[in-house]
A and B are shown apart, each in its own frame.
Chain A
Amino acid sequence: MKKTVLRKPKGFIDVYKHKPGAEKDRTHYCPGCGHGILHKLIAEAIEDLDIIDDTILISPVGCSVFAYYYFDTGNFQVAHGRAPAVGTAVSRANPDKVVISYQGDGDLAAIGGNNILQAANRGENIAVFFVNNAIYGMTGGQMAPTTLLEQITTTTPYGRNANTDGFPMKMCEVLSQLSAPTYVERVSLHDAPHIRRTRAAVRKALQNAKERKGFQFVEVLSTCPSGWKIDPVKSMEWVKEKMLPQFPLGVYKDVSNEAVAVERPVPIFDPAIVWEKLGISSVADVDFPRGDVPDEYRKMSIRVAGFGGQGIMVTGQALASVALEYGYNVSWLPSYGPEMRGGTANCSVNIQDGTIGAAEAVKPGLLLAMNRPSLEKFEKFIVPGGTLIYNSTLIDIKPVRNDIKVFAIPITGIADELGNTRVQSLVNIGAYAAITGMFNVDHVVELLPKLFKGKKQAIIDLNAKAVKAGYDYVKENF
């Protein structure tokens, strides 16, 4: 139908209700910003192609981070540079939707450089609109990958120098060399005829996307009057005079006519299958009756800390696994350095009847410190009235707090006496069971074959001894 009036396209939301503040009828963009012009062209195309309800827009990081305020589409806002990666996932999971990745030059050509290359090379069903304004606008006008030679920015005060800063990144030239992309064009917004050309490119890319014809890439030379510190009208002239010679316009690749709809297997996201693979059930699976647990231990937030190799993670996992069998909700969150042995390691465990919020035990009710640095680091965070268990074999200092319960246990020593230092994790579990009354030692021993699936019986027996040794030590000494 021929238009009789040019007005705000239906691809935009009527009232920008997601936008904070009072001005819900206008954009956050600076006067004369190219984003606004491109937004309008995209919104108009979405309306005219009748894909408003079938479009999912990925907003980037940069000034257009808030594109989701404006477009009446499905929206994602993603981490810097990751729009093509998230776009891939969205497109694969929703093969009948049109996925738009809207990105700026810093987002697409710098931090997300590899993301865009890989998505283009896979020929993902995504339409990418790449706004190139030769600068980082949002952060205050720093040099971007596409900054022109000689261009002055806040980080190139003498102008961009190819020797030190490299050349402007030409994404259309790069991507058009790949086999997979369907349509690659560079257009510009610098005057009315070129805006019409851009309008045609936007519509073509979205038409191709609607027909699932793979990867569409439209680079749009745009303005940043605020970042360039040039007024909006002169900015348009600046694009024509400065940008066009370094970023030639034109169609770099177009196989739209030969392209066929790309079909890919749709991944199945069925939680039940994942649960089955992991051997877990959504129903609370209570194997053991709970003992008489004192109130203070009914809602546990535990930090286990020590050297890597001391069984810190195993201790945490065992605590959580055993508690699970008593029907508690549990979480286990590891935190460690890159070393497999000898670095510092700690983990957080939560054992609760209610919903677990933060998985990290920032203020633990119980600290299990396996070495001196861990005691020094975490003792101050224990909640008043909380519990400290420390490895007195290795820790030669005394705790400083006097508002907590302290259990000094020679954990490493007990394990050594059993003939294997590595069983200290289970000494920990035994001691924990004795102190809190949360676990029955016999239950823990019963669980060992499950915890150490695939291990030899001798190892399981040794661990069973360790559990009992830890338990007995506490019962005899405290």
Chain B
Amino acid sequence: MTDAKYPRSEVDPDKCKGCGLCIAACPKKVLVFSPKLNSKGYHYAEYVGSGCVGCGNCFYNCPEPDAITVYLRNYDPEKVV
């Protein structure tokens, strides 16, 4: 387990349709269904807050273009335009 800020997976609750593909694809099991519901009535996926290795499986398994963003290990918020 790492406590570093990056890598990190971020799910937009309202764009998530709760299909669970990212959760199934996550090798570190750091994505889970939220007990909360989003505006569409889905239990959306959420990152538990630590343990992400930045493999990108969740991003590529997610059918929604904009529901998941993965910040990789070398991500530097200062350098992003």
Which residues in A have some Cβ–Cβ distance to B below 8 Å?
A: 2-9, 12, 25-27, 29-37, 39-41, 43, 70, 191-192, 195-196, 199, 225, 231-233, 236
Contact = CB atoms under 8 A, between A and B. Distances in A.
Given A5-B69, A232-B19, A29 B63 contact: yes
Contacts of A231: 20
A195 B75 contact: no
Nearest to A237: B24
Contacts of B15: 25-26
Interface of B: 15, 17-21, 23-25, 42, 55-57, 59-72, 74-76, 79-80
A196 B57 CA distance: 9
Contact of A34 (B20, B63, B64, B72): B63
B52 to A, nearest CB: 12
Scoring A2, A70, A233 by chain B CB atoms within 10 A of each residue's CB, the highest score goes to A233
Given A233-B21, A236-B24, A4 B75 contact: yes
A6 B64 contact: no
Contact of A233 (B17, B24, B56, B76): B24
A26 B25 contact: no
Contacts of A34: 63
Contacts of A43: 65
Nearest to B24: A233
Contacts of A4: 71-72, 74-76, 79-80
A196 B60 contact: yes
Nearest to B8: A5
Contacts of B60: 6, 37, 40-41, 192, 195-196, 199
Contacts of A236: 21, 24
A2 to B, nearest CB: 7
B67 A5 contact: no
Nearest to A41: B60
A256 B4 CA distance: 43
Given A5-B72, A6-B72, A31 B65 contact: no
Contacts of B66: 7-8, 12, 25-26
A27 B72 CA distance: 25
Contacts of A70: 65
A33 B63 contact: yes
Contacts of B71: 4-5
A40 B65 contact: yes
